[in-house]
Amino acid sequence: MNDSADIKNAADRLQSALAKLENSLTPLLQDLNRLESVEKESIRFKADRADLAAQLDHAKARSQDFDKREAEFTELTNETITELDRVIRQVNTVLQQQSSGQ
């Protein structure tokens, strides 16, 4: 064989090897793209989870604050009822005294 034929043969083999390499890399690149997409989605999920956790913590704090206020209002309501009962008894006593004095 001559050098020109050897070079052409070597170039053909190189082209064939490169085509096979490219064909074998295509599925790997597709897998890499898919994994990168999954990674981005995972990062978004983590950010969403962190945001939801912060919202939940805030909601729990607000709920505890509402529970505390509800307890305060209940206490004030009970005190008001007790005071109104006392005033009603006093008014009734005065009315009874006036009706029995007349």
Tens-binned pLDDT, residue by residue, of the chain (102 aa): 578 888 999 999 999 999 999 999 999 999 999 999 999 999 999 999 999 999 999 999 999 999 999 999 999 999 999 999 999 999 999 999 998 876
Number of structural domains (the chain) is: 1
Q: Is 30 exposed, middle or buried (0-12, 13-18, 19+ CB in 10 A)?
A: exposed
What are 99's two structure tokens? 């009706």
The whole domain housing 100 covers: 1-102
pTM of the model: 0.54
Under 8 Å CB-to-CB from 1, ≥6 apart: which residues? 9
